[in-house]
Structures are given as C-alpha cells and as structure tokens.
C-alpha cells in the first residue's frame, strides 16, 4: 500500500473542507499577498492562524515537515545568502580565504522575514490542496479563466488538475527510487552531481511513462473537455469566511 503524502487531498468534515473552492482560491491569493507585505508581528499572527487551521483540519505537522524538508534546505541557502549579502551592522565576522565575510543584523532580519513568508505561502497552498478535491480545483480554474478570451480554459484547468494529482505520485516514486538506490549503496558516492543525475533520470523516465499510461486510461474512459463538472455552490459560510479572511489580512499587514 502507498503512503498518503501531505500534498494529497484528504477527505474531512472541517470548515475548510466545506467551503466553496472558488472562495478558497481567493483566500489563498489574498493571504499570500498580505503575507508578502507583512513583517514579523503580522507573520506571527498568520502563523498562529495557520496552525489553528492545520489542527482543525487534522493535518499532521510532522508529515508536513517531512514533505517540505527539501524546501527547508533551499530556504536555508536563501537565509544564508541574505544574512551574508545584506549591508548593515555586522554581528559575526570571519576571514575566509583572505576575504572578510560578515553576517549582519539586517541580513538576519531580512533572511528570517523572507524565509518565514515563503514557508507560510507553501503551507497555504498545502492547506488548499489537502482540503480541496483536484476535480474542484480544476473546475474553479476553468471558472476563473472562462471570461478571458483566447485562453482554452478547460484545457488549462485539466492540466493544472492533473499536475496537482501527480504531485503525490511523483513524491511517492521519488521515495521509491531513492530507497532503491540507497539499497544499492548510492550513499557511498559523495559526488552530489553524480547522485542527482542517477536519481533524476530514472525518476523523470518513470514519471513520463506513468503520464502516458494515465492518458491512455483517461481516453479509455471517454475523457473529453466537455464533461460534467463538479457543482460549485457558495453559501453563507463562504461569505462569513471571506469577511474573516479580509480582517485577518488587514491585521497581518498593519501588524
């Protein structure tokens, strides 16, 4: 049996699961934008709010951390680059190869700010994916793109829907490929380029093969762009949530 990743839809009865997917997408955009404009107090408020929603939707903190561990490594590089490259008052200095490298207070502040914002944005996306059926996300994308001329909204929506559906599969295959290579002693090879090449090529080949199989299976089941889409219906709870989200955004930005 496969393992369910944090990037998969999970059925549930939480408030977030019950909201109209169109509203959820608007919330994602509003909060992400507010988060990018927020400073430390605002980010703290947003973190508390997201933690509460995660507990409410029963999304495990540990599984989320596990899923975003590579992203956290990337953020570490971003943080280090910011800390070392932002001009300001040095808090730590060191001579490396005859060149003085200084970590500045301003660098630490900006690095923290950027990394925090990025983590929260990823968490927001994760909450959306785990509480919204991909078919609904696909239908919502079609709904939002429909007014724009020259955009094949149903095709774009299908592509996005399938991408979302493929994320957990790719992660699961990445784990399988990684385990198989570790079983054959890949860890003895210290060259990261060699390891990355040996990992990425089979993973990509498998992903493309599976994509081909999926296309054939979809065709066999009469796939067409003109199909019965999920019903999108909004209610009072969605509008109340919208007011709540707008208030939260104001609080985050002015906080």
Partner 1 sequence: MGNILEIKNLKHHFADGTPGIDGINMTVREGEFVLIAGQNGSGKTTLLRHLNGLLVPTVGSVTLAGISVSENPARARQMVGMVFQDADSQIVGETVRDDVAFGPENLCLDRAEIQKRVSEALEAVRLTEFADQSPHLLSGGQKRRLAIAGILAMKSEVLVFDEPFSNLDYPGVRQILRQILSLHQAGHTILLTTHDLEKVFAHADRLIIMKDGKIARDGSPNEVVRDAEMFGVRQPCASRPGIEIGSWLN
Determine, following the binding rule CB under 8 A, whether residue 110 of this chain makes contact with partner 1: no
Determine, following the binding rule CB under 8 A, whether residue 2 of this chain makes contact with partner 1: yes
221, 233, 236, 243: which one binds partner 1 (CB under 8 A): 221
Determine, following the binding rule CB under 8 A, whether residue 168 of this chain makes contact with partner 1: yes
> Minimum Å distance from CB 63 to partner 1?
14
Residue 24 · residue 132 · CB < 8 Å: yes
Cα 27 to Cα 124: distance, rounded to the nearest angstrom: 9
Determine, following the binding rule CB under 8 A, whether residue 190 of this chain makes contact with partner 1: no
- Strand 99-104 vs strand 90-96: parallel, antiparallel, or unpaired? antiparallel
Determine, following the binding rule CB under 8 A, whether residue 210 of this chain makes contact with partner 1: yes
Determine, following the binding rule CB under 8 A, whether residue 17 of this chain makes contact with partner 1: no
* Contacts with partner 1, 60-79, as mask; x by CB under 8 A: --------------------
Determine, following the binding rule CB under 8 A, whether residue 11 of this chain makes contact with partner 1: yes
Reduced to 3 states (helix: H, G, I; strand: E, B; else coil), residue 169 is: helix
> Minimum Å distance from CB 13 to partner 1?
10
Determine, following the binding rule CB under 8 A, whether residue 233 of this chain makes contact with partner 1: no
Long-range contacts of 123-127 (CB under 8 A, 24+ apart): 123/50, 123/54, 123/64, 124/28, 124/31, 124/32, 124/35, 124/50, 125/28, 126/6, 126/7, 126/59, 126/64, 126/67, 126/68, 127/16, 127/50, 127/53, 127/54, 127/57, 127/59
> Minimum Å distance from CB 125 to partner 1?
16
Instruction: Decide whether 56 or 213 has the Cβ nearer to partner 1.
Output: 213
Q: Please state, in angstroms and as integers, the Cα–Cα distance from residue 78 to each residue in 71, 197, 228, following that order.
A: 11, 23, 44
Sites of contact with partner 1 (CB under 8 A):
1-2, 4, 8-11, 133-135, 165, 168-169, 172, 210, 213-214, 216-224, 226-229, 231
């Amino acid at each position: 049996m496969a393992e369910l990743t944090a990037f998969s839809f999970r059925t549930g009865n939480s408030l977030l699961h019950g909201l109209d997917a169109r509203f959820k997408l608007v919330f994602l955009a509003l909060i992400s934008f507010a988060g990018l404009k927020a400073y430390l107090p605002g980010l703290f408020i947003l973190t508390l709010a997201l933690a509460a929603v995660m507990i409410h939707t029963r999304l495990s903190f540990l599984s989320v951390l596990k899923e975003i561990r590579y992203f956290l490594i990337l953020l570490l590089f971003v943080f280090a680059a910011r800390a070392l490259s932002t001009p300001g008052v040095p808090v730590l200095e060191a001579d490396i190869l005859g060149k003085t490298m200084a970590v500045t207070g301003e660098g630490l502040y900006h690095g923290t700010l950027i990394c925090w914002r990025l983590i929260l944005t990823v968490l927001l996306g994760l909450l959306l994916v785990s509480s919204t059926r991909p078919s609904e996300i696909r239908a919502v994308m079609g709904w939002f793109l429909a007014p724009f001329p020259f955009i094949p909204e149903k095709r774009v929506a299908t592509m996005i829907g399938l991408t979302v559906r493929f994320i957990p599969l790719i992660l699961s295959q990445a784990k399988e490929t990684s385990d198989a290579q570790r079983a054959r002693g890949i860890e003895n090879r210290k060259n990261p380029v060699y390891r990355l090449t040996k990992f990425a090529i089979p993973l990509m080949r498998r992903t493309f093969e599976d994509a081909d199989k999926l296309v054939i299976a979809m065709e066999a089941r009469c796939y067409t762009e003109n199909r019965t889409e999920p019903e999108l219906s909004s209610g009072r709870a969605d509008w109340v949530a919208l007011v709540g989200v707008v208030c939260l955004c104001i609080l985050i930005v002015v906080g």
